[in-house]
Amino acid sequence: MRVCDDFRMTEEMNLDALRADVLQWITDDPDKTSRDELYRLLDGLPATAAELADRFAGRLKFGTAGLRGPLRAGPNGMNLAVVRAAAAGLVNWLDAKGAAGPVVIGYDARHGSRDFAAETARVVTGSGRRALVMPGPLPTPVTAFAVTKLDAAAAVQVTASHNPPQDNGYKVYLGRELGGDLGAGAQIVPPADTEIEAAIEALGPLSEVPLGDDGETLDESVLDDYLTAIASVVDPDDPKRLASVATPMHGVGGATLVKAMQRAGFPAPSLVADQAEPDADFPTVAFPNPEEPGAIDRLKALAIEEGADVALALDPDADRCSVAVPAGDGTWRQLSGNEVGVLLADHWMRKGHKGTYATTIVSTTQLKAMCAKRGHGYMETLTGFKWLARTNADLAFAFEEALGYCVAPEFLRDKDGISASLVVSEIAAGQAARMATLQDRLDELAEEFGVYETGQLSVRVDDLSEIDACMKRLRAHRPTSLLDEPVTEYLDRLPDADVVTVTTANARVVCRPSGTEPKLKAYLEVREDVGGDLPAARERARASVEALKAEIAAVLGVPH
């Protein structure tokens, strides 16, 4: 009986401590809606203890991706209190760095985005700095463009990109003064993230954060300047006849994409009607990410209906794009991010764009082969455009396999789904003019460089320690061969990054924990010589990727 009493007493003490933490937070929360939400949860104790404990397990941390999390009251969620703290920490950090200039503030159409942008503006003006607020919900690349165009100290974009509807987030970009030539208009990298986090930690009560007015609302000229800039990357003398379809996937990119296509001289794409306007609930997709199975089914159906040459899908904040092409049998095939990246790089090389071509360590190695043969500089970085943006002053093009492409680094050093869509359209129109498709160009590249087949083993876990255990197994039992070929390189990037790369003459595996989800990821690639029979080479490559998946799953100790 004594044990039961002790347990009950401990449980009550934990509830008392939790209740005290919640009440203390409520006293400093500036948003009545959030305060009421927490009061309701307090009234539901002890049944709501787990929910409250999760919300108060820690504060949403500010990292290189800024903030991202579920919309909910409490420190471990996206809400006005957390946003006020983030904005205050940011402006205090800018002050400490001596960075002059305004802060540009953009936002998408997700739940809470406009309010979070307005709160950020009040904090910025309260600090004595100008706040330049976008004229409405606009794509993330417009904000990334504006930070340098308007000579701002930094920019904030309120967005959760392609996260589920219940999430929101907060991205930060640096201006030229702090970012330098390579980081101007790019997302922050260490140590800026930890310094901003420290500035947030050092804040006193939120009620003491000075608030100003709503800032200055920019006019449409900022969007017009962006459209003019990205349209200029398209060759005015190249073919422009093109039948295209597109979807912004309920995000903010639809109207901007249509304007960009027309500005560049292409016919306006037909948009998927029930996905054309922003809708924060994303009602027609299970997950608003073009990479997810089934996400672009409506787009492919429209492409078939209209007999299109190319289909374009933007993610909700329009910084990424996916491409689908006719497969030749009446169906449509979604290209991988690697395939689109190779098409764009090939086009830029043939157009005479000199400089460095960059990609990440998990993307296809075909770009490396292309650069070596054609005499272009080549660089690899860790995953994330914050690293790709900073590769070299002469950056000509950069891409990552996760549908991110930078075709105009002279205007913005970040991924941009809209400018990438323009260049994809330029390639597609050129192919259509010679009665060919994007797939035909991929086939020609395969004949020249071989078939590069990629795949991924992705394992979601409930306990993050399982990922650590898998990486330890890989390091303890280093493969000596893959697909019966001897390993030519084993590269462990610790302590800089928790990434292991295993390479043979014709295969490669890159293993790492996901940076945004509780997943272990293994990126797989196999190269096959065509040998005069491209379909057979592709079939061999696909079979080899599946065999490689089983092989590496066994090493990691995970199902495949």
Phi, psi (5° rounding) for residue 169?
-160, -175
Which residues are part of the catalytic machinery? 161
- What is the per-residue DSSP string for 84-130? HHHHHHHHHHHHHHT--S-EEEEE-SSTTHHHHHHHHHHHHHHTT--
Burial 328-359 (b: 16+ CB within 10 A, else e): eeeebbbbbbbbbbbbbbbbbbeeeeebbbbb
* DSSP state letter for 61: P
Contact partners, residue 176, CB within 8 Å, separation at least 6: 148, 151, 184
| In contact, 405 and 420? CB cutoff 8 Å | yes
In angstroms, the CA 423 to CA 401 distance is 17
Residue with tokens 């491409």: 323
| In contact, 406 and 416? CB cutoff 8 Å | yes
Residue with tokens 């200039």: 101
In angstroms, the CA 325 to CA 343 distance is 13
In 3D, which of 153, 154, 129 has the Cα closest to residue 215?
A: 129
CB atoms near residue 2 (< 10 Å): 6
Residue with tokens 């590769």: 391
Rounded to a whole number of angstroms, the CA Rg of the chain reads 25
Tokens matching residue 138: 């606009």
Burial class (CB in 10 A: 0-12, 13-18, 19+), 237: exposed
Tokens matching residue 223: 């969007």
The strand pair at 154-158 and 103-107 is best described as parallel
In angstroms, the CA 353 to CA 345 distance is 9
Q: Fill in the amino acid letter for 66.
A: G
Tokens matching residue 161: 């990109």
In angstroms, the CA 224 to CA 262 distance is 12
In angstroms, the CA 309 to CA 220 distance is 32
In 3D, which of 275, 287, 269, 286 has the Cα closest to residue 250?
A: 275
